[in-house]
Amino acid sequence: MLFSAISMRLVVCSFIILWAMTQCYHRVYGQSPSKDFFTPQVVSLEQLQARITQARDTVLVINFWATWCKPCIQELPAFERLRKEYAEHIGSKHTRPLHIILVSLNSVKEMRIVETFLRKRRYGAESLLLSAGNPNIWIDAIVPTWSGAIPATWIGHPASNKKIFHEGEVTYQELTSLLDKFVLSLSNKP
């Protein structure tokens, strides 16, 4: 009898802990961890902007790319390396968390192509597929000076409203240099 009461308490506690972890994950990343990890979430411009705002005190690195863009494909390993290596150490090197988002500009009809691409390469960054209609409208909403060419990288910190933008392919060294300078600028008073 005592064994079954203890077992029941352990089961209940396990479910509560699992539920709490799911809620925290959902609050931080805006999606459920049970979702297929390699399937990008289709978002509108408004949802992307809300996703950025939700990040609060997190440094966001957002890469705009497409599977049909050769320079995009060539630079994506730099973002995965950044996610694996640099993000683990940002807490000790800098004072703010880092989150990488890959925003595919493929059409929604190409969802399976994007999913297969991400799954095959095992990219672990959060992935979104932007379904925003007329590019002439949403490009200006993201960065007014952006020509629309990809790859393109937006680095920002929603709490401070600071951001930088890089149009064109980046290497890992260039990406970390941009990020280091950006994080350093956050500690400087405006």
Would you mind telling me the total number of residues written for the chain in this entry?
190
Report the pLDDT value the prediction gives residue 8, as an integer from 0 to 100: 58
Report the pLDDT value the prediction gives residue 26, as an integer from 0 to 100: 42
Report the pLDDT value the prediction gives residue 31, as an integer from 0 to 100: 43
Name 21's Cβ contacts closer than 8 Å, sequence gap at least 6.
none
Task: Let me know: does 75 contact 151? Beta carbons within 8 Å.
Answer: yes
Which mean pLDDT values do the consecutive 10-residue runs of the chain (190 residues) have? 57 50 44 59 92 86 96 95 73 68 94 93 90 84 91 93 94 93 78
Name 118's Cβ contacts closer than 8 Å, sequence gap at least 6.
38, 40, 102, 127
Listed residue (58, 78, 46, 87) closest to 162, CA to CA: 58
Report the pLDDT value the prediction gives residue 30, as an integer from 0 to 100: 43
| 185 backbone dihedrals φ, ψ, rounded to 5° | -65, -25
Report the pLDDT value the prediction gives residue 100, as an integer from 0 to 100: 92
Whether cis (ω within 30° of 0) applies to the bond prior to 158 is no
Report the pLDDT value the prediction gives residue 98, as an integer from 0 to 100: 85
Report the pLDDT value the prediction gives residue 134, as an integer from 0 to 100: 81
Report the pLDDT value the prediction gives residue 29, as an integer from 0 to 100: 43
